[in-house]
Amino acid sequence: MAREKLKLCVFGSFNAGKTSLITALDPSSRHVEADCDGGSTTVALDFGRVQVGEQQVYLFGTPGQDRFEFARKILSRGMDGAIIVVDSTYAPDEMTRELYSWLKGTGLPVVFMLNKCDLPESRPSLYADVIGDASVHLVSARTGENVHEALVSFVSGIVEDADPVL
């Protein structure tokens, strides 16, 4: 029997598009933000809810600054899977590498969503060495392109892996 509720955490560096991704999936999502140079940034969490088939999916967006590592650890407790959002217009950074190493070590399902793929300067191939054999989706959180399909694919994989074979 499939789980009725899934907790997914959304990780990524500053300005990768985590808040935009959650907003694209749930326009009524909630955010705890502060003003910063160039706009605002998540300082505690983003929260959204999406129905995927029979699954109620809770999305917890984490802050992308190093100083909020404690918040990422707290929010990740009890998660069923992790989404790593990256800005595909920039080369991989150390935080993305560290996040993936940590999340891969949890044994939980992890997916990469390469964001901003609608922009001409997008270079998703730069992430090949970071991603390895992980699942990956090309998305645009700003336009909503492929975000729902990517989430449905990820959730389907989690549910299939959780269901015992009869």
| Segment 21-30, tens digit of pLDDT | 999 999 999 8
How much is the pLDDT for 40?
56
Rounded CA separation 114/92 (Å) = 11
Q: Kindly state the average pLDDT of the residues 77-102.
A: 96
Which domains does the chain possess? 5-162 (3.40.50.300)
Find, among 81, 68, 57, the residue nearest to 13 by Cα. Answer: 68
Q: Which residue in 69, 125, 130, 78 sits closest to 138, CA to CA?
A: 125
CB atoms within 10 A of CB 102: 16
pLDDT tier at 34, thresholds 50, 70, 90: low
Mean pLDDT of 40-44: 56
pTM: 0.89
Per-residue pLDDT of 153-162, as tens digits, reads: 999 999 887 6
